[in-house]
Amino acid sequence: MANQLRWDGRVVVVTGAGNGLGRAHALFFGSRGAKVVVNDLGGSAFGAGASSSAADKVVEEIRAAGGQAVANYDSVEFGDKIIETALKAFGRFASLQFFNNAGILRDKSFARMTEEDWLIIQKVHVYGTYKVTKAAWEVFEKQKFGRIINTASGAGVYGNFGQVNYSTAKLAVHGLTETLAQEGAKNNIFANTIAPLAGSRLTATVWDEGMLKLMKPEYITPIVAYLAHESSTSNGRLFELGGGWAAEIRWNKTLGHIWNTGPTFTPEAVAAAWDKVEDFKDSIYPRTNRDGINALQIIEASQKAPENP
Ligand code: NAD
């Protein structure tokens, strides 16, 4: 097809590519010319054990379909080894891009959550995303090109009962993305976050058959593939995806209220104007920290000046 988006000559690393979303992404990129690194530790959805078979099966599938792929079995905590596999197999200065997708769950109410449940989730999702990205960053800067897709979750954006460890980690993943997007832009390194919804072993225990069918991982892949293509200009964005649907989520801030900081600045004065702090009637959509500060100056000029002659 003349207008087909392709990844010929590009190396695409997908972490946690032995199952679910990562597997769907890896198979797709293998079919579109990419040299794929299929990383998977091969443990349980709970984060126990390890095995090479999950990654090996996906590599076999890609090769059987005529594509190129290598396996890597390291935990994302050793992200440098994953990038090393990519560079060894496909060339030291190969054009590289990747998906931080690996993940596990340790769902428990906060009262029942152990220190281990907390730490393992931060280690896999936050530290793992950092480690793979850190190892690839120098390559990205040299090649003046990079596309990073980090995988968060609606649980991180909205919170979710029983997932305090996971929601903390997943929102952190988006914080990481937002700053990488700003630091990478000058070198054509773009980073975006997805909050997917898909039928996989992580959702199989909570969704019914109908929902699992509607929300196949394959219904997310074309969207992340577009975002990962060199032609895509999205950067630092957060998208919620599932079942063939995509929508952007962004920060929305009220104009708020500024109090006169003289002797009248009391909790009672705060209470009297609190509805303005929570009133979204007039609001802004800041993209950077600076946007927030600029907005404060505008509000200050419009609200505070008359009160402080
Ligand atoms: P999945 O369990 O089917 O696949 C995750 C894969 O990651 C597994 O093959 C697993 O072996 C691998 N993995 C786990 N820990 C690893 C580690 N330390 N190093 C390397 N590989 C590791 O799950 P999925 O639903 O496809 O999830 C993929 C990503 O999407 C995860 O980050 C998950 O948190 C996120 N997510 C999924 C959903 C959903 O609806 N399925 C919703 C929100 C977020």
**Nearest in space to 82 (alpha carbons), one of 114, 52, 40:** 40
The minimum-distance atom of ligand 1 relative to the CA of 128 is 18
Is 166 a residue of the active site?
Answer: yes
Q: With a 6 A CB cut-off, is 39 part of the ligand 1 pocket?
A: yes
Spatial distance between the Cα atoms of 235 and 77, rounded to a whole number of angstroms:
25
Q: Kindly give the distance from the C-alpha atom of residue 243 to the centroid of ligand 1, in angstroms, as a whole number.
A: 17
What does the pLDDT read at residue 96? Answer: 82
Is the distance from CB of 35 to CB of 71 less than 8 angstroms?
A: no
Question: Token pair of 3, please?
Answer: 């207008």
Question: Token pair of 180, please?
Answer: 């990488």
Q: With a 6 A CB cut-off, is 11 part of the ligand 1 pocket?
A: no
Q: With a 6 A CB cut-off, is 202 part of the ligand 1 pocket?
A: yes
Spatial distance between the Cα atoms of 256 and 258, rounded to a whole number of angstroms:
7
The minimum-distance atom of ligand 1 relative to the CA of 197 is 40
- Pocket test residue of 57, 72, 202, 211 for ligand 1, highest count of atoms within 8 A of CB: 202
Choose, from 127, 130, 158, 166, the residue flagged as catalytic.
Answer: 166
Q: Which residues contact 165 (CB under 8 A, 6 or more apart)?
A: 106, 108, 113, 117, 118, 121, 122
- Pocket test residue of 15, 21, 126 for ligand 1, highest count of atoms within 8 A of CB: 21
Q: With a 6 A CB cut-off, is 41 part of the ligand 1 pocket?
A: yes
Q: pLDDT tens track of the chain, all 309 residues?
A: 668 999 999 999 999 999 999 999 999 999 999 999 999 999 999 999 999 999 999 999 999 999 999 999 999 999 999 999 999 999 876 778 889 999 999 999 999 999 999 999 999 999 999 999 999 999 999 999 999 999 999 999 999 999 999 999 999 999 999 999 999 999 999 999 999 999 999 999 899 999 999 999 999 999 999 999 999 999 999 999 999 999 999 999 998 999 999 999 999 999 999 999 999 998 999 988 888 777 777 777 666 545 443
- Secondary structure of 66-123 as H, E, C letters: CCEEEEECCCHHHHHHHHHHHHHHHCCCCEEEEEECCCCCCCECHHHCCHHHHHHHHH
Spatial distance between the Cα atoms of 99 and 223, rounded to a whole number of angstroms:
13
Which residue has the least CA distance to atom 1 on ligand 1? 20
- Pocket test residue of 46, 73, 101 for ligand 1, highest count of atoms within 8 A of CB: 101
Q: Kindly give the distance from the C-alpha atom of residue 38 to the centroid of ligand 1, in angstroms, as a whole number.
A: 13
What does the pLDDT read at residue 286? Answer: 92
Q: What is the pTM of this model?
A: 0.95
Q: With a 6 A CB cut-off, is 33 part of the ligand 1 pocket?
A: no
Q: With a 6 A CB cut-off, is 79 part of the ligand 1 pocket?
A: no
Q: Which residues contact 210 (CB under 8 A, 6 or more apart)?
A: none
Spatial distance between the Cα atoms of 167 and 105, rounded to a whole number of angstroms:
10
Spatial distance between the Cα atoms of 11 and 228, rounded to a whole number of angstroms:
12
Q: With a 6 A CB cut-off, is 165 part of the ligand 1 pocket?
A: no
Which residue has the least CA distance to atom 12 on ligand 1? 16
What does residue 233 show for φ and ψ, rounded to 5 degrees? -110, 0
